[in-house]
Amino acid sequence: MISLDAVKELLEKTQQTQLLRFWDQLGDEERSSFLAQLSTINLKNVNELFGKARDTLRENVVKLDSRMKPVPQELFGAEQKTDDEELDLFRGAGLEEISKGSVAVLLLAGGEGTRLGVSYPKGMYSVDLPSGKTLFQMQAERIRRILTLAKERTGKKGRVCWYIMTSGRTNRITRKYLEANDYFGLDENDVVLFQQGLLPCFDFEGKILLAERNSVALAPDGNGGIYRALDDNRILEDMERRGIKYVHIHSVDNILVKVADPVFIGYCIKKQADCGAKVVSKNGPNEAVGVVCKVDDRFQVVEYSEITEETAKLRDSAGNLTFRAGNICNHFFTTEFLRRIVKQYEPELKLHVAKKKIPYVDESGDTIVPSAPNGIKIEKFVFDVFQFTNKFVIWEVPRFTEFSPLKNIDSVGKDCPSTARRDLLHLHKYYVEKAGGSVGEDVEVEISPLLSYAGENLQTIVKGKSFNSSTVIKSDDECNNTANGHFKHSL
């Protein structure tokens, strides 16, 4: 741990001596914990960090229309435009690598459910499905199911390591939750938690804020902090030791996410890509979502605010939006590409800056909860590495089968528990009816991820059956633990 004298020297050089204004009022334990925290902050770089952030704030939003081009068609695949034979080719390639243990999943799970009105990690949230399953449980069970599919396809029992990037506030409770639930059937040796980094919060003059008299105000460094975290926590070394070649990275809050999607993975492998993005088509020119495209001949996610309405409305010869590839935080990377990013390009990642209302301790030692923005938080985004790829591809999927984010409380009416629940149950109704069953009007049918990953394995169970009450359709393993067979009905 850094010494007090060394801290004082660094704070004087960086003009951040205000951090120690209450030092003489602290007890021994408070001083020790404060020094430990300060040891984790790169004080040498704080002024440079704020300088970059200030420059970003001063920049006007520049419209990028004249510099934008859509992703070339040869790099743009779409599930709905691909025939069944080729889809099965991609699926087979993905399942083959899963059976070899070459594929890992990296879950971005650092966020708390603040916007959902809860104080625990978002992955622990339940949208009140008939089964009561949380996001973490559904995603863990999808991994278990994909391992079963890989074994059925190849005859080999594979492994998928589940890396979970948490934050300082979510790490302990996430770990305890997974332990208490026996990792939802996954091998605990294949579940690896690690923490993303934290960055100090600044006031508008560049002074670091105190959250308490002995604690700096810190905020997670965004999902783009993954690259620094991979290095700091030696996760890439762990991946390479396990023989992992491909990593599927996604955010925790998409209730429909296909975890370790073999079709997406197989498509990227067949295209020899080192980086890939799964996207959905924008639902209209005014949808406020970033689009994947090329800017100055480099791949990039361009925010809606960076495009004029005229460009947003452009359409191609088929009548589709020219810039329609909506980013959904669902990506493929080779470990080789991740290693290159970590060792070479991470310092070049763009800083994204937001003015925020940040609680702080004032000069008198009182805690102030501001009613207006009083400082800035700095973060990086996971997609900002697209510009460094040698071979980039896009895979477009239907929104109704793969994307329903969970971000807001129900009163917002969009991207909330009610819409996530509705979308999952609508998809499961579609699967049941496609397999020959029928679902009554306003009847809820939920399919366990352990039974079916994407609508497969249902015909022998549901064909010819009518569902007229709320039902959970379970896997054989789940049936063995109950006396209700494949169906659990709710009143």
485 or 259: which carries more pLDDT confidence?
A: 259
Quick check: is 364 in a domain?
Answer: yes
Q: What is the pLDDT of residues 351-403, one digit of tens each?
A: 888 888 999 999 999 999 999 999 998 889 999 999 999 999 999 999 999 99
Q: What is the pLDDT of residues 70-113, one digit of tens each?
A: 999 999 999 999 999 999 999 999 999 999 999 999 999 988 88
Report the CATH number that the domain containing residue 441 is assigned in CATH: 2.10.10
* Contact status, residue 395 vs residue 79, Cβ threshold 8 Å: yes
Q: What is the pLDDT of residues 383-397, one digit of tens each?
A: 999 999 999 999 999
Quick check: is 154 in a domain?
Answer: yes
> Do residues 23 and 73 share a domain?
no
* Contact status, residue 212 vs residue 361, Cβ threshold 8 Å: yes
Least confidently predicted of 3-7, 254-258, 288-292 = 3-7
Q: What is the pLDDT of residues 174-209, one digit of tens each?
A: 999 999 999 999 999 999 999 998 889 999 999 999
pLDDT of residue 480: 72
Q: What is the pLDDT of residues 450-465, one digit of tens each?
A: 999 999 999 999 999 9
> Do residues 371 and 460 share a domain?
no
> Do residues 215 and 134 share a domain?
yes
pLDDT of residue 491: 38
> Do residues 19 and 71 share a domain?
no
pLDDT of residue 78: 97
Provide the domain count of the chain: 3
Quick check: is 423 in a domain?
Answer: no
> Do residues 24 and 64 share a domain?
no
Q: What is the mean pLDDT of residues 272-296?
A: 95
Quick check: is 461 in a domain?
Answer: yes
Q: What is the pLDDT of residues 311-360, one digit of tens each?
A: 999 999 889 999 999 999 999 999 999 999 999 999 888 888 888 899 99
pLDDT of residue 73: 93
d(CA 373, CA 115): 18
Quick check: is 416 in a domain?
Answer: no
Quick check: is 51 in a domain?
Answer: no
Quick check: is 468 in a domain?
Answer: yes
Q: What is the mean pLDDT of residues 475-481?
A: 81
Quick check: is 368 in a domain?
Answer: yes
> Do residues 86 and 123 share a domain?
yes
Domain region containing 401: 58-407
> Do residues 28 and 140 share a domain?
no
pLDDT of residue 59: 66
* pLDDT above 60 for 159: yes
> Do residues 107 and 139 share a domain?
yes
Q: What is the mean pLDDT of residues 293-319?
A: 92
> Do residues 139 and 274 share a domain?
yes
> Do residues 296 and 358 share a domain?
yes
d(CA 374, CA 367): 14
Question: What pTM did the predictor assign?
Answer: 0.91
Q: With cut-offs at 50, 70 and 90, classify the pLDDT of residue 259.
A: very high
Report the CATH number that the domain containing residue 346 is assigned in CATH: 3.90.550.10
> Do residues 351 and 450 share a domain?
no
> Do residues 141 and 108 share a domain?
yes
